[in-house]
Amino acid sequence: DSETDAPSAGRDHRLAALAKTKHEDLKETFEEEYDHYKGQRKRKLENDFGGGDLSDSSTEDLEPSPAKVAAVEKPMSNAEKMMAMMGYKEGTGLGKTKQGMVEPVALSTQRGRVGLGHNITKTIGRDFLETWDESKEDKTIEEHVRWMAKCPESTRDWVLDYLEGSEWIEIGEKKLSIDDETSFCDGEILRKMLQSKNVFDVVPDRDLREARARANPYETIGAAFFQNRAAMKVANLDRTFGFIFSGETEEKLLNKNPLKSERPTNNCDRETPLFYFADVCAGPGGFSEYMLWRKAFYNVKGFGFTLKGKDDFKLGKFTASSAHYFEPYYGKEGDGDVTKPDNINSLEEFIMRGTNDVGVDLMMADGGFSVEGQENIQEILSKRIYLCQLLVSLCIVREGGVFFCKLFDLFTPFSVGLIYLMYIAYDQISLHKPHTSRPANSERYIVCKGLRKNYSDAVRDYLKRVNVQLDEFAKAGSSKDVLSVVPLETLRSDEEFFNYIVEHNERLAERQCTYLQKYLSFAKNSSLIDKDQGILREDCLKHWLVPNKTLDRRERGAERQQIDPDQYFGRFTRKFYGREDFSARLPPFDATMLSERTVKELRYAEFSLNIL
């Protein structure tokens, strides 16, 4: 039996050993899982109770134990294990020599669909950390006008003696650079401005417009209820210069164009003389639309002169006023080109004939053309249109009349010489850049008030000779050009005039640089936006006495389609018959009719219409 029991005992011993080993394995596994569970539970409770030490006690007021529990290391993920097997250590790069990237992959600075390595990406790459310091700007509602001191009478008389001849006309080789034009601006300021402009040479127009729309604090003023932004520029200037353009007072303006109600309430102009204005180089006609709207009751007549074709007046888009009080004219050549001498002479005759040889109360000029890719020499390219617009004002503005004209840079002796001649011909002049003129461009306006006929006629004749000379050079394709119309020594000798021009140029150039830098920041970071645009629009329109409303072209089109037949026949005919009975005869014109109340209330124009 002992031999039989021996194998059985050995088998039982082995089974017991296996059971013990299995039990120990299960115990070890249980302890590992329990420790892991305790660590997770502790971290959860620390998060729930603000990270303080925990106690098994249910008493809430016990002081936390100062003992520190060792942090349980988070198990590595499968990806981390794989990286560790390949030799990766935290804080180092991959690769045999640890040459791999350590920092996260940066956001792309690529702009749009341009190719990799394009100049725009190198110059103005995307940067969502870019910021803008608004303290560099001066955002205002009211604008300060800087009038140039009046020219002394002795100076005017002295200049007229030289204008009789042509000694002041300097002719030389045509110049196509303004980099060295430092006679009327500090050289460093000029260089900085040109460099700021050059940054945008590689920027697509779309990106520039998008950045400008967000960066310009006055951009949302737009066109209001007029056909284009030009109308709002006149509204801005008119208010800034005390309504000398429209010849109105604030009280009369509010009577004729209330800010709240839809219709004018009172005709203040019934006894006033007819107001004449001329709009030159101003297609599609925003300037004229504003002036006709501002006069309200149409004791006004406008004359227009602009290029035929795509830049012609868009009379059908006069949404704020009627174009029936506006007469376009295109000159003897029939093309509306203001630079042609024959067109200027015929325009002068046409307007004098239309105003009984008196001239217009106001002339407006907005000439300009595309200089894409040549923005830095826009002044040189525009010199002849500068000349001809100023010349036309001397031909058609009446004694004591007002003139304003759009200009650009004023760095060359030719441009400054033209300003000097306006200084002689008008009582007083000012150079001004309104809020509605975008701050990053070189646009500005010359405003002249009080034409002096005893001086302006001589200046007019002199500028006509200059224009004829330029016309001859253009027709011959010559490389010659008129470099100046007033000697540089003469311009410098008048300290009041010279200092005014230098101060104006430097102030505008520095402001232009500021906003070009702002455009650059906003082009880099598309999340930036000027947050004052909305309030500035409201406050500016209120200050300029322009209703805060916009033009809904769809509603206007629907209104034209649904217009009542009575409106086609005029407001007056409804006093006698309606659309249901167009065959009704007018009442006899006798004493009974005159005694009726309805007829007594008729104005003269209405009464004359009905007796016809």
- In whole angstroms, give the CA distance from residue 80 to residue 529: 43
> Which of 406, 449, 464, 524 is an active site residue?
406
- Cα end-to-end distance, the chain, whole Å: 153
- In whole angstroms, give the CA distance from residue 34 to residue 28: 10
- In whole angstroms, give the CA distance from residue 399 to residue 523: 49
> Positive or negative, the Cα torsion across 301, 305, 309, 311?
negative
Residues 6 or more apart from 444 whose CB is under 8 A from it? 406, 407, 408, 410, 431, 432, 433, 437, 508
406 is catalytic: yes
Answer whether 338's CB lies under 8 Å from 311's CB.
no
Helix (H, G, I), strand (E, B) or coil at 303: strand
Please, what is the Cα angle at 249 between 246 and 253, to 5 degrees?
75
- In whole angstroms, give the CA distance from residue 6 to residue 263: 124
Residue 429 — φ and ψ, nearest 5°? -135, 160
Buried b (16+ CB within 10 A) or exposed e, 298-322: ebbbbbbbbbbeeebbebebbbbbe
- In whole angstroms, give the CA distance from residue 129 to residue 107: 11
Distances (CA, A) of 119 to 78, 125, 128, 202: 44, 9, 19, 7
- Quick one: DSSP state of residue 72? P
Helices assigned H by DSSP within 223-359: 229-240, 250-256, 286-295, 341-354
- In whole angstroms, give the CA distance from residue 53 to residue 67: 8
- In whole angstroms, give the CA distance from residue 54 to residue 64: 7
Two structure tokens written together for 181: 């034009």
Helix (H, G, I), strand (E, B) or coil at 525: coil
Catalytic residue numbers, as ranges: 406
